[in-house]
Amino acid sequence: MITLRKATERGHANHGWLDSNFSFSFAEYYDPAHMHYGALRVINDDRIAPGMGFGMHPHQDMEIITYVLSGGIAHKDSMGNGSVILPGNVQRMSAGTGLRHSEYNPSNDTETHLLQIWILPAQKGGAPSYEEKTFSDADKRGQLRLIASPTGEAGSVTILQDVKLYAGLFDGAEYAEMPILAGRKLYVHVAKGQVQINGLALDAGDAIMLKQEDALKIQNGHAAEVLVFDVF
């Protein structure tokens, strides 16, 4: 079964300095038909104005992944971590029993575009932790590169849930295929560009959900950046 959700069907909020699209219920956007997809709880497509951002705020019992598409985001947290996350970097925080962090666009003239991803942990509690790794364009070009997993395999960041996250870049004749294992399902988010997935044409912000299908097939991309969530 394949379900397509267009970018225009997402929730939306524009606060001036922050323009967000919500794939799942978040803040004032409530949609009982789109609360989560397996353990995938949040994909917020955020555009943050220069010099603006989120002050110190708390999180608890959530796996949080920040994936920057353009610009950068300056991060500081109560664990003592501080860095600027750029395209190609993948930041992972396990909030556990609780942490606080801030996120700001450090540029004076360039907008930041990022995806804020939340995944429900397998268990609540535990000490909060932080991880950051870099995956080059070459790592993702014409293929699906594992960037997050429960075991940290293949150099991916480690999340506390039975979810795997892949990222890929696709142009022209580049093609990728991935089998869908029994009992698993996929959520595919087109972060940038245009691409064809299992025969359907998708644009930036569109998503496709696949379950009880044999495989995922990605082709005919045009400056496409794709994230694939393998969930149970």
Instruction: Please give the model's pTM, rounded to 2 decimal places.
Output: 0.97
Q: For 157-170, what is each residue's pLDDT tens digit?
A: 999 999 999 999 99
Tell me: the pLDDT tens digits for 114-153? 999 999 999 999 999 999 999 999 999 999 999 999 999 9
**Residue 118 contacts residue 42 (beta carbons within 8 Å):** yes
Q: Which of 221, 231, 214, 173 is nearest to 197 (CA)?
A: 221
pLDDT at 138: 98
Q: Choose among 48, 57, 155: nearest CA to 106.
A: 48
CA atoms within 13 A on the CB side of 32: 0
| Whole-number pLDDT of residue 49 | 98
The pLDDT > 70 percentage for the chain reads 100
